[in-house]
Amino acid sequence: MVSTRKTVRYSMMALGLVCTVLGIIGIILPVMPGTVFLLIAAWAFSRSSERLHLWLYYHPRFGQTIRDWHLHRVIPVRGKLLAITMMAMSFAYVAVSQSPNWLVPALVGATLLPVAIWIATRPSGDYSASEISPR
């Protein structure tokens, strides 16, 4: 029987791998949020695989955003604008496609609005100069 600790470790590693793939897809496709999935992947890898965590944390393309969030809890202005724009477009699509039914757009709007406010109120300072070096 596999121990609970190993099961949790492998589950976290699987979550990290799935989120990494979804994050990369989200960076390529504008309809999916890539950064959120990469942040979840970094968190999952930090609990399952130091090697994968360090790979993602210091990745040339993804690492800076992950480090800025981890160290300073900042979201770049470009990321904020992209996220909020995509949420607004998603809401508009749902509102138009569900026009006779007001309940679905109301629920989507009630979900997206607090998330958009939360994103907009996060700091967006430039911390790239304080980049830390790999171990």
Domain that holds residue 42: 4-130
112: CB partners within 8 A, 6+ apart: 87, 90, 91
Residue range 78-120, pLDDT digits in tens: 888 888 888 898 899 989 987 788 898 999 999 989 989 998 9
pLDDT at 62 (0 to 100): 86
Is the pLDDT confidence value at 126 over 70? no
Residue 44 within any structural domain of the chain: yes
In a domain, 30, yes or no: yes
- Residue 135 falls inside a structural domain: no
Backbone angles phi, psi at 77, to 5 degrees: -55, -45
Instruction: Render pLDDT for 28-77 as a digit per residue (tens, 0 to 9).
Output: 876 677 888 899 999 999 999 999 999 999 999 888 888 988 899 888 88
